[in-house]
Amino acid sequence: MRWDYGKVYQEIRKSKGLTQEDVCQNFLARSTLARIESGQTVPKFDTMIFLLHQIDMSLEEFKYICNLYHPSVREEIISKVYSYNTAIGTSELERLQNKCQNYLRTNHDIPIKRINDGLTSMILLRKNGIQKKSKELNHINQRIWHYLEKQDAWYENDFRLLNTILPHFPIEIVQNITSKILENLIKYDDYRNIDNSSFSLLSNLATIFLYNNLKEDCEIITLKTIDVAKKVKRYDYLGFSQVRLGICRKDDDLIKKGLELLSLTEETALLETMEEEIKNFR
């Protein structure tokens, strides 16, 4: 990792054919940029963001370049967790958990600790099944819930973590926190990259309501998953949601449309899951 941020910035700026004057104009003194690039001063956060905007670069990309065009171990962990999907194998989850634990031996990092707890919960669930809840799984889920419960608001990564433990809650707790989930998700309507996490959390919530025979609540949440599916133009999401809504409303035409979409998108596993739901709840 290169810690001479100013020098790295200077190299990028010059490679783009930009002068210090081009970057600064009348918004920042050239002498300030010169001191930053020479390592004589550390820029304030808002100054650094301004400078990155001028070279058309995100903070994430800049950090990647500072790490010699490689993600840091921390970024690698976070990136893999963000790209996680239900098809990932248990052994891969365990490898990622080992990476977390190795990293935490030499680093204090609250988010990575929480990711590690979330991975532990998923691995234990995979190994034991949802019906057989071990003491260790209950302990991990209670610990995750302990630091989520005390927060006044939930943010992007909290949604992912909450989604991990939501199926383990008693239905009374799920009902009690649903309004808080929806209120916090609304704040992220215009935030990029949140839609997949939002859909996952909402569909998980709808599933819990359906499996507890609370079809009215399931319908309310499923209508929101349809909005997300249309927004991101994900036809597998839309097919899933149409089937789920059709089950809630006892609408065979809607169920048929959803199944056709899932078939067209070749979502075989999801198609089988929804067909099983139709048998059990229609």
- pLDDT tens by residue, 145-185: 999 999 999 999 899 889 888 988 889 999 999 999 999 99
pLDDT at 63: 93
Last residue of a domain, one of 51, 66, 81: 66
pLDDT at 244: 96
pLDDT at 202 over 70: yes
pLDDT at 86 over 60: no
d(CA 27, CA 36): 15
Residues 174 and 81 in one domain: no
Res. 133 pLDDT band, cuts 50 70 90 = low
Residues 14 and 62 in one domain: yes
AA identity, residue 196: N
Mean pLDDT within 230-242: 94
Residues 184 and 249 in one domain: yes
AA identity, residue 145: W
Residues 277 and 245 in one domain: yes
| Mean per-residue pLDDT over the chain, rounded | 92
pLDDT at 243: 96
Residue 188 neighbours by CB under 8 Å, 6+ apart: 156, 194, 198
Paired tokens of 59: 């903070």
Our count of domains for the chain comes to: 3
pLDDT at 123 over 70: yes
Residue whose structure tokens are 């600064």? 24
Going by the DSSP 8-state scheme, the letter that residue 28 receives in this structure is: S
* Within a domain: 164: no
Please state whether the predicted TM-score (pTM) of the whole model is above 0.85.
Answer: no
AA identity, residue 25: Q
Mean pLDDT within 52-68: 95
Residues 31 and 57 in one domain: yes
Burial classification of residue 199, based on how many CB atoms lie within 10 Å of its CB (0-12 exposed, 13-18 middle, 19 or more buried): buried
Res. 66 pLDDT band, cuts 50 70 90 = very high
d(CA 49, CA 46): 5
Res. 261 pLDDT band, cuts 50 70 90 = very high
Residues 177 and 278 in one domain: yes
User: Please, what is the end-to-end C-alpha distance for the chain in angstroms?
Assistant: 56
Going by the DSSP 8-state scheme, the letter that residue 16 receives in this structure is: T
d(CA 233, CA 229): 6
* Within a domain: 111: yes
Residues 265 and 178 in one domain: yes
Mean pLDDT within 55-60: 95
d(CA 35, CA 6): 8
d(CA 83, CA 92): 13
Paired tokens of 152: 């006044």
> Domain range holding 47?
5-66
